[in-house]
Amino acid sequence: MVDLIPPLIELIRLSSTSLPLDVEQALQNTLHSEHPGSPARRTMELILENAAVARRKSVPICQDTGTPIFTVQYPAGYAQKELRFAILTAVEQATASAFLRSNAVHPVTGINSGSNLGDPWFPTIHFEESGEDTLVIDLLLKGGGCENVGRQYSLPDETIFAGRDLDGVRKAALDAVFQAQGMGCAPGFLGIAIGGDRGSGYLASKQLFLEPLDAHNPDPALAALEERITLEANQLGIGPMGFGGKNTILKTHITALHRLPASYFVTVSYMCWAYRRRRMTVRGEAITYA
């Protein structure tokens, strides 16, 4: 079996230093709609310059390299214990190489582990046996600022006039964006889970960030809602980094989870402009990145 540690370090390096092309293109597209010379336009120019420098110099796109969230789809024959060891070792070595900032702080002692390793929850690793013959590892680096502005609503919610229907979902999503203002480092991206419980809602809403930006929602009602939320979020005028402007949310993804009759959660996860996601695929000895 191939030694996974060096390729995993490369996965981390790529994720931290090089924005996915669809994300960079989405950021690039905003330039045309912001007024030349405006704070919004200058902010987007700086963001794009920063992304280009980070890729060229192989340094992190942002000083906050975020929570590493790994999703591992593995074929039969792989042992989770060995995969976990390879991931943790790669995270530690990538931190030592400064592709990741030391981000794991104990909440009671305040001590930073220095390695990005903490209890069993840091980094986050999700495992799933796939039934395929390829090993696929996705990595999402989720920044703290945008994580802070994620919100979960329990509908009905009278404070935002949101009932238990898709219009209530829309109101919850727009409230989350409005409350975030520029603190999520806009322009951002939304992952919204309707239903589930509190835990599955956050998990599913973040998993949506693994989707490409041009992914099509197969549910026409949800596809229409995604478009409408993005449109209306951009009418709030928050703009890049909260400086005002036309580009606040560049894409909304929505998924629906079965829920208990008693509960109707809407979970809104926010991804900042530093939308770092990468995929590593292992087929036999061949390793590719996307």
By CB under 6 A, is residue 187 in contact with ligand SF4? no
43-52, long-range: CB within 8 Å, 24+ apart, which pairs? Answer: 43/239, 43/240, 43/241, 43/243, 43/245, 44/187, 44/240, 44/247, 47/240, 47/273, 48/24, 51/19, 51/24, 51/27
CB nearer to ligand SF4: give 144 or 237: 144
User: What's the closest the beta carbon of residue 182 comes to ligand SF4, in angstroms?
Assistant: 10
**Who's near 283: CB < 8 A, 6+ residues apart?**
133, 134
CA-based max dimension of the chain: 57
Residue with tokens 């990468």: 278
Rank residues 66 and 168 by Cβ distance to ligand SF4 and give the closer one.
Answer: 66
CB 145 within 8 A of CB 183: yes
Q: Closest CB to ligand SF4 among 52 and 79?
A: 52
Query: For ligand SF4, which residue of 192, 272, 280, 282 counts as binding (CB under 6 A)?
Result: 272
**Residue 1 Cβ vs ligand SF4, minimum distance, rounded to whole Å:** 34
> What minimum distance in Å lies between the beta carbon of 188 and ligand SF4?
8
Contact status, residue 189 vs residue 206, Cβ threshold 8 Å: no
CB of 146 to ligand SF4, least distance (A): 4
Smallest gap from residue 60 Cβ to ligand SF4 (A): 9
Contact between 68 and ligand SF4 by CB under 6 A: the answer reads no
Classify 240 as helix, strand or coil.
helix
Among 62, 100, 173, 194, binds ligand SF4 (CB under 6 A): 62
First-to-last alpha carbon distance for the chain, in angstroms, is 22
Beta pairing partners, 126: 71
Binding of ligand SF4 by 143 (CB under 6 A): yes
Question: Is 24 among the residues that bind ligand SF4 (CB under 6 A)?
Answer: no
Contact 183, 258 (CB under 8 A): no
Q: Which stretch binds ligand SF4 (CB under 6 A): 73-81, 97-105, 128-136, 268-276?
A: 268-276
| Angle at alpha carbon of residue 141, lines to 238 and 251, rounded to 5° | 40
Q: Which is nearer to ligand SF4, 143 or 239 (CB)?
A: 143
Report in angstroms how near the CB of residue 19 gets to ligand SF4 at its nearest: 11
Question: Any contact of residue 185 with ligand SF4 (CB under 6 A)?
Answer: yes
Binding positions for ligand SF4, rule: CB under 6 A: 62, 64, 66, 143-146, 185, 272-274
